[in-house]
Amino acid sequence: MNINQAFELLKSSSDAHIARIITNRYKKMSLWRVLLYKYQLKRGMPVAKIIHSKWFYGMDFYTNKHTLDPRPDTETLVESVISDCQTNDTRKILDLGTGSGCIICALCKNIPNATGVGIDKSRLALRVARKNIKKFGLQNQIKLKHDDFANFKYNEKFDIIVSNPPYIKYGDTRVNDGAKFDPPVALYAKNDGLAAFEAIAKNAIKLIKPNGKIYLEIGVGQSNQVIKIFEFFGWKFNRVVPDLSGINRVVVFNA
């Protein structure tokens, strides 16, 4: 099937922009492949899940059904860390729930002398993260570990801990349709979306160096609750950072 025929078929299930993204990505497609993409678009599948590619912080990440697609909101998290790292001091970073590896890769690519560890309880997500680490040539800077928020242990301490944990309350109707193609474990948490924060606050305090910081992406309206949780476990509130829409998106604490 030629590219123009594929474009017209895909456009009928979405729009011209998305159809062009797919046809630019795959120059040659069989009719079967085009019909599959047409069906996926009609179901509302995000184009990133179809082409297995999502740009984040100026980097083109591989993604698939086993990981959360990187969101622009999460760039606020990355930028918050980088803005605090203006010196050339060596930084050791721990990424809790690394998923595609987009956060730890962006940080180690943009912070001089940074090294990192990414953990995730999904072995399939770790495969994706490993692929991205290799893609960006960060194998000597980033290690991966299979673990979860509830009981993770590590023999080292870190200067920086970051996390974009699952923080959506089960049954929240504000979740967009595209999210149904992301793994639920990366989106939803018990205790009204706060369970992962409780586990991180309790466990991560053992892994942070004196004067270290933890940076957390949060959901809409969660800042006060997250602050209370972390202060209960001995963290010191530093600041809240809004995203480009003015919504409080990142909370920072000192050890």
Kindly write down the DSSP assignment for every residue of 69-94, as one continuous string. PP-HHHHHHHHHHHHT--S---EEEE
Name the region of 158 (left: φ>0; alpha: ψ -120 to 50; beta: rest): beta
Task: Give the pLDDT band of residue 153 (cuts 50, 70, 90).
Answer: confident
At residue 217's C-alpha, the angle toward residues 176 and 122, to 5°, is 75
Distance CA 72, CA 57 (A): 8
Task: Give the pLDDT band of residue 168 (cuts 50, 70, 90).
Answer: very high
Which domains, from first to last, does the chain contain?
Answer: 3-43 (no CATH), 54-254 (3.40.50.150)
pTM equals: 0.93
Task: Give the pLDDT band of residue 107 (cuts 50, 70, 90).
Answer: very high
What does the pLDDT read at residue 16?
A: 92
Q: What is the mean pLDDT of residues 69-85?
A: 96
- Which residues lie across from 93 on neighbouring strands? 116, 160
Task: Give the pLDDT band of residue 204 (cuts 50, 70, 90).
Answer: very high
Task: Give the pLDDT band of residue 28 (cuts 50, 70, 90).
Answer: confident
Task: Give the pLDDT band of residue 190 (cuts 50, 70, 90).
Answer: very high
